[in-house]
Structures are given as structure tokens and as C-alpha cells.
Amino acid sequence: PDNLTYEKASLACCGLGPSFGAMEAMQTSAFDVVLIAGLGPAGLGAVVNAFFRGARVIAMEILPWRVDRARKMGVEHILDPFDSDVVNNIKELTGGKGVDCAIDCTDMPDAQRICIDSLRRKGKMSFVGEAAGDLTINGSQDMIRKGISLIGAWHYNLNLYPQLIQVAMRSPLIELLISHELPMSQINEAFELSASPEHAKIILNPWT
């Protein structure tokens, strides 16, 4: 659309795209509590998508910059994934039931396990982060008796593009998803920023 800036349009890739596809697959709505594991750029994008759908958000993160950015977006409950009581704490926040949906934006099998353990019966979890290790699934306890759904999400179907663009255009949180805008001449500085934990989406402007 003519009234959409290039900076916001660029978020249709890995800023908003992975979690948008995940939440579409999980049919996340305003009736749901969503657990977001990891508040890097993809996780912060998941916060934007979840709030746009009207869902309640619980998150897991330990890095102060990311916690602060998510709080500015409106996330009230941000838990430490290394706390041994984290699953119980999540369930306490949901009246003992567990979350309706969980989305993993980390590269940590332990975080994925917490997501599974925090789901309510018949809850849904989507994998967005590329985990380096192996996750153990218990076919009986996890899948049969609890009846959960585990979903892999590689961005989104292009038929959903018009809806995704509406998020980029209308969400009041979009500005907070972009933490840095740099000219192409500063690409080295952009890569240095991306190697640190203190950034959301970094935008390179190829025309400057």
C-alpha cells in the first residue's frame, strides 16, 4: 500500500512473519493466553501479533534490554526460564490450567520443554526458533493423555500477506519492534548490533 513505509513493510519478513504464521496455525484469538519463549526480534514480533489478536501474553526472557522492551509493549508477566518453578508460576497466572497457546522463539530445547509443560489440556504449541539440540517428547504423557498439538511454522502462507500487512499498518506497537534504522553505508555497525542482545529489528536503508 502507498501509505505503508518501507521500514514497516520490511517487518513482513522475519519481524512479524514467523509468529504470524504460527498464530494463524494455532488459531490464536482474544480468548487465549499465549506464552512466548524468548524476546529477541522474532519474540518481540510475536508480542505484536498476539496483542493485535487481542490475546493475553506471558513471556519468558532473562536479558534486561529485551525485558524492558517487552514491558514497553505492554507485557506484564515476564518470567525467568531458568527458575525451577517457572512452569508452576505460569500455571498460577492461568488459574492452574496452563496456557492455551505457546510459541517458542528460542534456540533452546529446555525452553521448548517448558512451553509443552505449561500448556493446558488440548493446548497448542508452535515452533519458530531453530533449536540446536534435541527435544524429548513423551508420546503418552504429552500427546495422548494431555492431547496437545505441536505445530512447526516456517513463516506464513502468502495468501495471508494482506492480513499481515494490516498488522504492520495498524498495530500501535510497530515502532517498538524497530530499534535501529541505519544507512547501508553503516552495514558493519548493523552487524555488530545484531551480534549483541540489545536490539529488536534493525533496518538498513539501501537508499542512503
pLDDT digits (tens, 9 = 90+) for 53-77: 999 999 999 999 999 999 999 999 9
Buried b / exposed e along 160-192 (16+ C-beta atoms within 10 A):
eeeebbebbeebebbebbbbbebeeeeeeebee
Could you give phi then psi for residue 185, rounded to 5 degrees?
-65, -15
Mean pLDDT of 156-174: 94
pLDDT tier at 129, thresholds 50, 70, 90: confident
Taking residues 136-152, report their average pLDDT: 93
- Indicate the pLDDT class of residue 207, thresholds 50, 70 and 90: confident
Task: Give pLDDT, residue 1.
Answer: 86
- pLDDT for the residue numbered 154: 87
102: part of which helix (H) or strand (E)?
strand 99-104
**Pick from 147, 150, 143: nearest CA to 115:** 150
Looking at the predicted structure, is the pLDDT value of residue 133 above 90? no
Percent over 70 (pLDDT), the chain: 100
pLDDT digits (tens, 9 = 90+) for 87-121: 999 999 999 999 999 999 998 999 999 999 999 99
User: Terminal CA-to-CA distance of the chain, rounded, Å?
Assistant: 22
What does the pLDDT read at residue 110? Answer: 94
Q: What pLDDT shows up at residue 119? A: 98
C-alpha cell at 169: 499498518
Higher pLDDT, residue 90 or 3: 90
Does pLDDT of 131 surpass 80? no
Nearest Cα neighbor of 34 from 1, 60, 63, 69 is 60
Calculate mean pLDDT across residues 134-153.
92
Task: Take residue 116 and report the three cell numbers written for it.
Answer: 509443552
Give the residue-averaged pLDDT of 76-81.
Answer: 97
Residue 109 sits at φ, ψ, to 5 deg, of -60, -30
Determine the Cα angle at 36 with ends 147 and 199, to 5°: 155
Q: What percent of the chain lies above the pLDDT cut of 90?
A: 87
- Assign 147 a pLDDT band (cuts: 50, 70, 90): very high
